[in-house]
Amino acid sequence: MAVGPRDADWGRLSQISQAYGALSVIVSAGALAGVTISLAYQSRQTRIATEETTWTAHRELLLLSLANSEFLTCWEPPSVPVTSDEWRRMVFTNLIIQDWEKTYAFGLMTDAQLTRTFELHFQGQTARDHWRNSREHYLRHAEGGADRRTQKFARTADRCYEAAVAAGPAVSVSGYFVRSPVPAQPPAPT
């Protein structure tokens, strides 16, 4: 019983088969690499979506608390003595800082932009009050995590805060805006 033609060059056919086998291994390795990259990308996207969902829920809770002052006492108390109006401003400032943190974490803000943002931010008293109240939490959270950008964010904020305090007094809440001049009254008709 013959398996193949009698005049076939079995050595040459074997070499061709081995060449296809080697090529098959290369193609399979490429496909496996593609699947691995795809899974890593999907994992990253899932993590980002989870972070965004968590951030959105947190932001909604803070906004609800700002809209209903009685809910502000449901959060941790401030570590520095403040009035309820000061606390509301600090809670809102926290939302701003968290937005910057996400923007920086996603690479949408450079180191130089982050530094300049904090330099300007810490000129105001509410910003300084917020950081004085929250800095230990931010620094512990950042250093306890594995994300280097979060760590750099917190260190940059703290460095800019220290520089602002050393530079002199902050702009008070009452010093942000000038009073609108009273419009001149037209002369009364005579």
pLDDT of residue 183: 73
Question: CB of 86 within 8 A of CB of 127?
Answer: no
- What value does the mean pLDDT take over residues 83-102? 92
pLDDT of 86 above 50: yes
- What value does the mean pLDDT take over residues 75-101? 90
Which tokens hold the place of 19? 């060449």
pTM of this prediction exceeds 0.85 = no
What is the SS3 assignment for 171? strand
Alpha carbon 49 to its chain's center: 13
pLDDT of 138 above 80: yes
